Structure 1
Amino acid sequence: MPLFALAVWTTLSTSPLDPLLPVPAACQGVSHPVRTLERRRLHVPWIGPASAQDVPYAPFGPRNVFDWYAPPASVAGQSAAPVIVYVHGGGFDELNTEAIQLANAPWPELQDRGYAIAAVRYRQKPSAVFGADMARDAGYVVQLLRANAAAWNVDPNAIVGYGTSSGAFVLGLLAYGPDLVNPASADPVERASSRLNAFLNDRCESDWRNFVDAGITVHPFASPTLVGVPQQDRERASALWWLEQPGAHAVPTLSFYKVPVNTPPLVNLHDGWLGWQLTQDLAALGETHSAFLLYLGASPLPWPLAYDFLETVVGW
Structure 2
Amino acid sequence: MPQTRCSIFSSCFLTICTFVLLVQSVPAAEDKPQPDERLQKLLKRFPDADKNKDGILTREEAREYRQQLQKRQNRNARPANAVKPTFADVKYGDHARNVLDFYQAQSDQPTPLVIYIHGGGFVGGNKRVNPGFLKQCLDAGISVAGIHYRFIDGKDVLLPEPQRDGARAVQFLRSKAKEWNIDPKRVACFGGSAGAGISMWIGFHDDLANPDSDDPVERESTRIQAIGTFGGQSTYDPIKIKALVGGRAWEHPSIFKAYGVTTAEEALHPTPEQQKRYDESSAITHLTKDDPPLYMVYSEADGPLPANARPGQGIHHPNFGRDLVKNMNELGIENVFIYTPDAKGRNPQREMLEFFQKQFAKVK
TM over 0.5: yes
Distance between the aligned counterparts of 2:302 and 2:323, measured in 1? 10
Ranges in structure 1 where 5+ consecutive residues have no aligned partner:
1-8, 10-49
Amino acid at match of 1:254: Y
Which runs of 5 or more structure 2 residues have no equivalent in the other structure? 1-6, 8-84, 243-247, 306-311
Tell me the TM-score normalized by structure 1. Answer: 0.72
For the pair 1:210 / 2:247, whether they are aligned, the reply is: no
Q: Secondary structure at the match of 2:361?
A: coil
Residues 165 and 205, structure 1, Cα contact 8 Å, conserved in 2: yes
TM-superposed deviation, 1:105 = 5.1
Match of 2:266 in 1: 228
Q: Which has the higher helix share?
A: 2
Aligned AA for 2:170? V
After TM superposition, give the deviation of residue 307 of structure 1 in Å: 2.8
SS at match of 2:97: coil
Residue number among 44, 63, 81 corresponding to 2:97 in the alignment: 63
Secondary structure at the aligned position of 2:145 is classed as strand
Could you tell me how far apart the structure 1 residues matched to 2:228 and 2:205 are?
A: 16
CA 222–309 in structure 1, closer or farther in 2 if over 3 Å, else same: same
**Residue 178 of structure 1 pairs with residue 206 of structure 2:** yes
SS of alignment partner, residue 131 of structure 1: coil
Answer whether contact 2:152 2:162 (CA < 8 A) is retained. Answer: no
What is the aligned partner in structure 1 of residue 224 from structure 2? 196
Match of 1:255 among 264, 283, 296: 296
Task: Give the Cα–Cα distance (whole angstroms) in 1 for the partners of residues 121 and 211 of structure 2.
Answer: 34
Amino acid at match of 1:84: V
Once the two structures are TM-superposed, the CA of residue 226 in structure 1 deviates from its matched residue by: 5.7
Aligned length: 256
CA distances 1:130-189 after superposition (whole Å, capped 9, x unpaired): 432111111111112223312221011111101111111111211112211111111111
Equivalent residues in 2 for 1:56-135, closer than 5 Å: 56-59=91-94, 61-71=95-105, 73-74=106-107, 79-93=109-123, 96-97=124-125, 99-103=126-130, 106-126=133-153, 129-135=157-163
Q: Distance in 2 between matches of 1:194 and 1:54?
A: 21
**Alignment partners' CA distance in 2, 1:263 and 1:108:** 38
C-alpha offsets along residues 175-217 of structure 1, whole Å, 9 cap, x if unaligned? Answer: 1122111111111111111011100111221122222476322
1:165–1:202: 8 Å Cα contact kept in structure 2? Answer: yes
* Fraction of identical pairs, as percent: 27
Distance in 1 between residues matched to 2:234 and 2:304, nearest whole Å: 15
Q: Could you tell me how far apart the structure 2 residues matched to 1:237 and 1:262 are?
A: 26
- The change in CA–CA distance for 1:291 and 1:297 in structure 2 (over 3 A counts) is closer
Distance 1:139 1:189 in 2: 11
| Alignment match of 1:159 (pick from 173, 187, 197) | 187
Residues 214, 175 of structure 1: alpha-carbon distance in 2 compared, 3 angstrom cutoff: closer
Q: Is the 8 A contact 1:67 1:118 kept in 2?
A: yes
- The residue identity in structure 1 corresponding to 2:291 is A
The 3 A distance-change label for structure 1 pair 161 and 278 is same
Distance in 2 separating the partners of 1:276 and 1:214: 17
Q: Is the 8 A contact 2:98 2:165 kept in 1?
A: yes
Q: CA 1:117/1:104 → structure 2, altered by over 3 Å: closer, same or farther?
A: same
2:336 paired residue number: 291
The 1-side partners of 2:132 and 2:203 are apart by 20
Report what 1:46 is aligned to: none
> Larger radius of gyration, structure 1 or 2?
2
Query: What do you get for the CA RMSD once the two structures are aligned?
Result: 2.9
Structure 1 distance, partners of 2:140, 2:252, is 39
